[in-house]
Amino acid sequence: MKTNTTWHSGLGLGLRHRRSARAALAFALAALAPAFLTPAALAQTPPPDYDFDWAVITDLNNPAYAGDPEFGTNAGRGSVPYTYRISRLEVTTAQWMEFMNTFSTQGINMSSHRPISWGAQQSGNRYELRNMPSAAMIPLRGINWRSCAQYCNWLTNGKSSNPASLLTGAYDVSTFGDDPGGWFTDQLAHSPGALFWIPTLDEWLKAVHYDPHRFGPGQGGWWEYCNSSDVPPVSGPPGVGETTAGYRAPGFAELSVPLGAYPDVRTPWGLLDASGGAAEWMETVMGPAPHFSRLLDGTWAGSDSQSSMDRAGSTDGAGPNFRGYAGLRIVSIPAPSLWMLVLIPVVAQRRRKTR
């Protein structure tokens, strides 16, 4: 919603009163600004939305997850001190197909980026949607972490058709590899200038399991499962169940259920398909150095791990070249609204006065 920042003389206020009101508003907004606009955020170029449906995650410095009731795992995780946005849906076939075709049509071999299961197929040097219902919305299953990192580079670089756009931006591809001991050397966290990246464990946990109104208005807390509940979602087809996790159908029909097919099953922030679809890559590394696995969370279509993997205290891990059942959800810095852009000079002036 756009905010009208024009002051009209027809409001009946005298010049002095208008200045006082404006100063009061500026002071109030400036007092709030540090919670939303860090110096790094002020310097960032607002990222485009592209065709993602974004959920904006606020409630800064939320209480951390206390840990799995049985094993205490993920205790102390999930507190995030900044505002960010995360895609409500996993990356769709149509979104990934655009990425693939940007480079395959230049004669670049994109086979290592092709998901094991999705709604597209190769036709010559292009990829096209399969002849099946909702093919564009089929989730990706079977993409490795390094392909996801290059996808984030491409988004950060404005979906450029230059092959160099795959190499840096969010993650430096030159770091990708393994040392003689078999431990991976990939960059551990996204670059400071990244506009889009793979979720961290804290970002993912908060967006999926933390509810800012869990115990009433403004009284935040954690749900054990990703359907805003302490009871796991029910397996079954759309209209009957609540997730494709644990659902098995003839001809692997569970793999053809599109994203968004369970619109009433949401995380507290409105994310869909946190259970089912694909297990989702995270940026965070499992365990201490040396590094062997990146984290995965959430179950996948047909999975028999629902009772564990859909819990806040349970994660999985795999090497960055693992494909299997893995998919992706995207995180980005929030695009500032008009009132934030108006506020920037006020914040800058306030900071100068406090030096």
Angle (CA) 130 88 215, round 5°: 145
CA pair distance 272, 68, nearest whole angstrom = 23
Residue 30 has pLDDT above 50, yes or no: no
Q: What is the pLDDT of residue 335?
A: 66
Range in 52-66, 163-177, 298-312 the model is least confident about: 298-312
Query: Domain limits of the chain?
Result: 9-37+338-353, 50-335
CA pair distance 38, 264, nearest whole angstrom = 35
**pLDDT band at 71, cuts 50/70/90?**
confident
Q: What is the pLDDT of residue 234?
A: 94
Q: What is the pLDDT of residue 215?
A: 96
- What are the residues facing 84 on neighbouring strands? 57
Range in 29-38, 168-177, 232-241, 329-338 the model is least confident about: 29-38
Residue 228 has pLDDT above 70, yes or no: yes
**pLDDT band at 344, cuts 50/70/90?**
very low
Residues with Cβ within 8 Å of residue 81, at least 6 apart in sequence: 60, 61
Q: What is the pLDDT of residue 182?
A: 87
Closest CA to 275 of 219, 218, 236: 236
The average pLDDT across 72-79 equals 94
What is the percent of the chain where pLDDT is above 90? 74
- CA distances 270 to 257, 277, 300, Å, are 19, 16, 19
pLDDT digits (tens, 9 = 90+) for 131-173: 999 999 999 999 999 999 999 999 999 999 999 999 999 999 9
Strands of 326-327's sheet, edge to edge?
316-318, 293-297, 279-286, 326-327
The average pLDDT across 88-110 equals 97
CA pair distance 259, 247, nearest whole angstrom = 15
The average pLDDT across 326-352 equals 58
- Number of residues that make up the chain: 355
Strands in the chain per DSSP E: 54-57, 84-87, 120-123, 126-129, 196-197, 210-211, 221-222, 279-286, 293-297, 316-318, 326-327, 331-332
**pLDDT band at 17, cuts 50/70/90?**
very low
Residue 313 has pLDDT above 50, yes or no: yes
- CA distances 74 to 19, 78, 119, 295, 350, Å, are 51, 8, 34, 12, 39
Question: H/E element holding 95?
Answer: helix 93-104
pLDDT, greater one: 233 or 346? 233
pLDDT, greater one: 70 or 166? 166
Q: Output the average pLDDT for the chain.
A: 84
**pLDDT band at 68, cuts 50/70/90?**
confident
The structure tokens 């920037």 sit at: 344
Q: What is the pLDDT of residue 306?
A: 63
CB 282 within 8 A of CB 198: yes
- Give residue 283's identity as a one-letter amino acid code: E
**pLDDT band at 75, cuts 50/70/90?**
very high
Half-sphere exposure of 349 toward its Cβ, with a 13 Å CA cutoff?
A: 10
* Sequence-distant contacts of 169-176: CB under 8 A, at least 24 apart: 169/193, 169/194, 169/195, 170/194, 170/195, 170/196, 170/197, 170/198, 171/197, 173/146, 173/149, 176/146, 176/149, 176/320
CA pair distance 233, 244, nearest whole angstrom = 10
pLDDT digits (tens, 9 = 90+) for 245-257: 999 999 899 999 9
Residue 37 has pLDDT above 50, yes or no: no
The answer to whether the Cα torsion of 235, 306, 62, 218 is positive or negative is positive
Residue 183 has pLDDT above 60, yes or no: yes
Q: What is the pLDDT of residue 3?
A: 36
CATH of 50-335, one of 3.90.1580.10, 3.40.190.10, 3.90.1150.10, 3.40.718.10: 3.90.1580.10
DSSP tag of 80: -
CA pair distance 283, 299, nearest whole angstrom = 17
What is the percent of the chain where pLDDT is above 70? 81
Closest CA to 62 of 248, 170, 259, 209: 209
Q: What is the pLDDT of residue 72?
A: 82
CA pair distance 332, 328, nearest whole angstrom = 13
Closest CA to 307 of 222, 252, 246, 227: 246
Q: What is the pLDDT of residue 34?
A: 37
Give the number of other Cβ atoms within 10 Å of residue 340's Cβ.
20
Query: Dmax of the chain from CA atoms?
Result: 76
